[in-house]
Chains A and B, each alone.
Chain A
């Protein structure tokens, strides 16, 4: 039988889920502007899928990044015959990354991460104070 979930686990797992989101955003931004010879080889935006995980014993709920999916638009074709990666018709496929959206996502992930850190440190100090009760 698994032990009941604690607030530390709630915030900790939420933090790692946000970290996965931050990592995918970093990969997306790093690959923005990259080109490839075929449509299949071109980079596509990656996104994590968040799912709530409930704990019946304690009534708490945390979040997990269950999987990472390819999302967003399909890579776009651009005519660029001088590019060394161009196919016989002179086209290259550009990575499908929406840069402003990724930046917004990055800020949101960072803020949510900070919120969870704040929850964890407040909880920690309250628990320590409870342990000192009566001294």
Chain B
């Protein structure tokens, strides 16, 4: 999937971004659950793994790590809303960027096919 001739790396990137969005949403959902440990994907490593190995899902699984809290709370919860919100916003913007790249590719091909 990563060496897709039409979309290049962007198909795999979109998949990693989508999975990361779910993971960050899970963290935010569990912001007040005692003992919950926040997780996140190392995007760069996950995408590099997907480029080498080809399977995006297993690469994401290998590169998912527990978040190290800046200030651990007494109930064992490691979700820090500031961190999670920032990461979620950044991830959403990056997702939109990838969508823009994909749209660019599609319109390029469309134009070539129509011979404009």
Chain A contact residues, CB within 8 Å of chain B: 7, 10-11, 13-14, 18, 21, 50-52, 58-63, 108-109, 111-112, 115-116, 119, 122-123, 126, 129-130, 133-134
Contacts and interface: CB of A to CB of B under 8 A. Distances in A.
B33 A119 contact: no
A14 B29 contact: yes
Interface string B87-105: 0110010011001001100
B29 A62 contact: yes
Interface of B: 14, 19, 21-26, 28-36, 61, 64, 81, 85, 88-89, 92, 95-96, 99, 102-103, 106-107, 110
6 contacts: A10-B26, A61-B30, A61-B36, A119-B28, A133-B99, A133-B106
A6 B24 CA distance: 13
A126 B64 CA distance: 23
A119 B88 contact: yes
B28 A52 contact: no
Contacts of A133: 99, 102-103, 106
